Amino acid sequence: MIRVFIVAASPLARAGLENLLAARDVEVVGSTATIEILADQLSDSAPDVVLIDLSGEPLEPLTGSILSSGLASDVAVAILADGMTPAASAEALRAGIRAALPGDISPEQLIAALQAVASGLLILHPSHAEEGLAAGSAPARALDEHAESLTSRELEVLQMLAAGLSNKEIAARLNISEHTVKFHVASILGKLGAASRTEAVSLGIRRGLVLL
């Protein structure tokens, strides 16, 4: 069971997240309205992940506060934010945040992402991976050392591979032919240096290209 500390300005948001996580066997070890008063509580609560809900709030002040406080060096941080752009996601990663998640993420995806972050993985929404990470961040440079950048369509296909969809199902979802799907899968395997679909998904997860 992972231990999560919640930061959300809205009392309703905090209560909603507490109930959602508790119902899925995640231990909520504390909650607060701002990160400014978080440091005093971290040592006692010892969370695996700090989950910050930014619903209706700007991202930039938070990333600045995290950089200045050194919070991300002490504990894994995940954020939920509405309307997050690829550039904002990249800025979040540069601040040391481990997961930049859309505010409308499903409960199942949120739990999977928190578990991945607690295990030391970097999680980024697939639609942001190519554009956001290509903006010169350290994760982008590390990725370029291992593989060519996947296209937006290839990122979509990789996400569907991770969900266990067959070529026929992917073709139906994307309204393309199975032949085109096979082409995309072959390209993904080649760029990631993977020998199989399973290995491609595994590599994609480790490199932050797949949202669990």
- CATH class of the domain whose range is 147-206: mainly alpha
**3-125 maps to which CATH number?**
3.40.50.2300
**pLDDT tens column, 36-59:** 777 677 777 888 999 998 877 777
- If one compares 44 and 155, the residue with the highest pLDDT of the two is 155
pLDDT of residue 139 exceeding 80 = no
pLDDT digits (tens, 9 = 90+) for 68-120: 666 766 788 898 887 767 677 777 776 778 888 888 788 888 888 888 888 87
Q: What's the start-to-end Cα distance of the chain, in Å?
A: 17
Could you tell me if 187 and 149 are in contact, meaning their C-beta atoms sit under 8 angstroms apart? Answer: no
Do 147-206 and 3-125 have the same topology in CATH? no
Listed by start position, the domains of the chain span 3-125, 147-206
Burial of 23 (C-beta count, 10 Å sphere; 0-12/13-18/19+):
exposed
Q: Which residue has the tokens 């969809």?
A: 165
